């Protein structure tokens, strides 16, 4: 578990005096933004379900 993202997150949060999960949430937000940019054309074609 020492190299798991969760363990690294907890160490970074403790070192930075931030709440647990801060760095994981930041990484997920970044990954989502990158995916949204990469899939922009495909996402535009999806019509909402009604």
pLDDT per position as a tens digit, 13-26:
999 999 999 999 99
pTM equals 0.75
Which string of DSSP letters, residue by residue, matches 18-46? --TTHHHHHHHHHHHHHHHHHTHHHHHHP
Q: Has residue 33 been placed in a domain?
A: yes
Q: Has residue 23 been placed in a domain?
A: yes
Q: Has residue 24 been placed in a domain?
A: yes
pLDDT over threshold 80, residue 42: yes
Q: Has residue 27 been placed in a domain?
A: yes
Q: Has residue 50 been placed in a domain?
A: no
What's the domain range around 34?
A: 5-45
Cβ atoms 22, 13 nearer than 8 A: yes
pLDDT over threshold 90, residue 34: yes
pLDDT over threshold 90, residue 48: yes
**How many domains, the chain?**
1
CB atoms near residue 9 (< 10 Å): 19
Q: Has residue 17 been placed in a domain?
A: yes
């Amino acid at each position: 578990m020492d190299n798991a993202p969760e363990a690294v997150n907890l160490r970074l949060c403790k070192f930075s005096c931030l709440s647990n999960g801060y760095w994981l949430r930041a990484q997920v937000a970044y990954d989502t933004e990158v995916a949204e940019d990469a899939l922009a054309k495909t996402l535009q074609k999806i019509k909402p379900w009604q």
